[in-house]
Chain A
Amino acid sequence: MLYREAGQFKTNYVADSAIFPLREDRIGLALIILAAYALAFLGSSFLLQAVLIPFLVFSLAAIGLNILTGYTGLLSLGTGAFMGVGAYACYKLMTAFPGVNVIVWIFVSGFFSAAVGALFGLPSLRIKGFYLAVATLAAQFFLQWCFIRIPWLVNYNVSGALDAPLRTLFGTPIMGPNATPQTRYLVVLTIVILLTWLASNLVHGRIGRMWIAIRDMDLAAELMGIRPLQTKLLAFAVSSYYCGVAGALLVFLWYGGAEYDVFNINQSFFILFMVIIGGLGSLIGSFFGAALIFILPIVLGIVLPAMLSPFGLSVGADVIEHLRFMIVGALIIFFLIVEPHGLARLWQIGKQKLLVWPFPY
């Protein structure tokens, strides 16, 4: 049988607490990573530039928000702004210190948004749920105001926009107008894999348990010695770190330049929907959510005209556009009705069923 638990005995606690205890899962993951790297060489530049790079960037942002909203249960609408902090910090750092490799600055810029995130997370000790969401709106509006009104952030650039300067890694351009989609994709992919691995380590250990404890029953968690403020602020900081790095990647490795309004409230909602549909409290769900919300409309845009043309229906681009929204919307509702806990739960159920297939249990 292809996918079986039987016969895989764990003889020590390290093996038993492994993140992927099943051999099949480990092989599957290795194959997916391999395929992702292979796509850099097989995929067209449209696929890399317009589909895969943004998909990875949004997945990373969704992982960030998932740590906060999914694992710790703190609703935030400031994701866009925290992404912006990362992007602006990265811009300042790499223009101020062009000698240091830009990869270093991408990782460092996350710390700035982590600090800002922790600051705006302070109200979370006292308020929860929708009220906290409103408090994080303050971050969204205030930070966006800063992006517009503080010209220092864009080095007094007259256009007020961020632009990606030419930067290289081992002599190959990875950023700026000369960087090919292929190299940028490889950089983004590597960063996303690395950060996802670290996030998965965190959520499976002591810190992850403390976050989930706060989410599931904060009173009991506190009565067990878990300090609510520190735990929540740590979640805010780690979450914002991920969002910040995603923001830097979004501007400099995907768009190649952007203005303040990419980090508006719509971006925050966009990421939040990915997290909810993908599955709260699941890392793989973040990828599923990003795929459904970002990739599906693109696929439909290509597939729909091709599907309609055999019937002699040649519809205009605007109709396709409307159809796309309708279908994506209907699918979102469908998935939420079938499984309110998101695509990740569907995935989990599927795997459970496969384990015992062909028997029902």
Chain B
Amino acid sequence: MRAPDHPVMGKGDVLLAVDNVSLGFGGVKALTDVSFDIRKSEIRAIIGPNGAGKTSMLNCINGFYYPTEGRITFKGVKRPKMRPYEAARGGIARTFQNVALFKSMSTLDNIMAGRSIKMHSNFFWQLFRHGPAMKEEVEHRRFVEEIIDFLEIQHIRKVPVGRLPYGLQKRVELGRALAMEPELLLLDEPMAGMNLEEKEDMSRFILEVNQQYGTTIALIEHDMGVVMDLSDRVVVLEYGRKIADGTPSEVKSDQRVIDAYLGVAH
């Protein structure tokens, strides 16, 4: 399954548009009438207090949930109801709030697993681990090694990820998402539970991914300092509704955002 053909997008074009999306689980409304867009090559932050519907929003974008109302347009095409693997094949990668690595595999194999959709040698050659299968394996290994160099995790290449400290696991997870060469990278709290140094490293990687590869990034993060420094535009959710949208400085001075975070005197 290939992504539908589309005109090549330039920086600043709308890559993904969310129009009036609502999501409900029975009586609970996780998202109500949310609209925003993500432009090509920008870093877009989604912030909001706990339970605001940020992760639900990401889950809608990568096909894990299907919005009850509204629509999502990706690369100019309205998305039909799709499974997560179809979204992945369309070019959307993501990392998780709680690390979701393949624990028993090594760092290398985890990132190689991220290349699965790019590998095509057939079952027959896989059986013999020869010819096209081995050639492909080496080709993709080369690509994976570039990611490993980029993320500075050469020393843990062959270590099972279950044994790695949390900060490194987060980094491997980013590597696995990058291995998919995504057009849109969704990062769900990439810096949760990290110390200052790890946060600085992670911020540097996010900026470099964005600048070197032009990858569009949507990021959920609670550390306001990080959000304000990294992102080009910020959308703020509260109780499943959008309350603000704009550049970091606009959002920072928005009264509703301040109220949402600091509370209102009654």
Contacts and interface: CB of A to CB of B under 8 A. Distances in A.
Given A223-B88, A223-B94, A13 B141 contact: yes
A219 B116 contact: no
Interface extent on A, as a size class? 20 to 34
B134 interface: yes
Interface string A171-207: 0000000000000000000000000001001101111
A205 B137 contact: yes
A222 B127 contact: no
A351 interface: no
B126 interface: yes
Given A201-B129, A225-B85, A225-B89, A209 B112 contact: yes
Interface stretch (B41-49, B117-125, B211-219): B117-125
Interface string B97-115: 0001111110001001110
Contact of A281 (B104, B113, B119): B104
A224 interface: yes
A19 B130 CA distance: 13
A212 B109 CA distance: 10
A223 B104 contact: no
B123 A207 contact: yes
B128 interface: yes
B138 interface: yes
B89 A213 contact: no
B85 A205 contact: no
A204 B126 CA distance: 9
A14 B180 contact: no
Given A206-B121, A206-B126, A223-B62, A14 B116 contact: no
A225 B62 CA distance: 11
A222 B123 CA distance: 20
B65 interface: no
Interface residues of B, number: 39
B17 interface: no
B176 A224 contact: yes
B138 A210 contact: no
Q: What DSSP secondary structure best describes chain B's contact surface?
A: helix
A217 B101 contact: yes
Nearest to B115: A206
Given A209-B109, A213-B116, A216-B104, A198 B85 contact: no
Contacts of A225: 85, 88-89, 116-117, 180
B167 interface: no
Nearest to A204: B129
A224 B121 contact: no
B229 to A, nearest CB: 28
Nearest to B136: A206
Given A223-B85, A224-B93, A224-B180, A14 B113 contact: no
Nearest to A228: B85
A227 interface: yes
A217 B85 contact: no
Contacts of B239: none
Contact of B117 (A12, A201, A207, A224): A224
Contact of A209 (B96, B116, B121, B134): B116
Contacts of B84: 219, 222-223
A228 to B, nearest CB: 7
A204 B123 CA distance: 13
Interface in B133-191: 133-134, 136-138, 141-142, 176, 180
B127 A217 contact: no
A226 interface: yes
Interface string B7-24: 000000000000000000
A351 to B, nearest CB: 15
Interface string A221-247: 111111110000010000000000000
Contacts of B103: 216-217
B81 interface: no
Given A198-B127, A224-B180, A225-B180, A209 B113 contact: yes
A226 B85 CA distance: 6
Contacts of A198: 127-128
A31 interface: no
Interface in B43-97: 62, 64, 83-85, 87-89, 93-94, 96
A213 B100 contact: no
A227 B100 contact: no
A341 to B, nearest CB: 10
Interface of A: 12-14, 16-17, 19, 198, 201-202, 204-207, 209-210, 212-213, 216-217, 219-228, 234, 281
Given A12-B138, A225-B89, 10 more contacts: A17-B138, A205-B126, A205-B137, A207-B123, A210-B116, A212-B105, A212-B109, A224-B88, A226-B117, A228-B85
- 3 smallest beta-carbon distances between A and B, as pairs: A225-B88, A225-B117, A201-B129
15 contacts: A206-B116, A212-B109, A212-B113, A213-B102, A216-B102, A219-B64, A220-B102, A223-B94, A224-B85, A224-B113, A224-B117, A224-B180, A225-B117, A225-B180, A226-B85
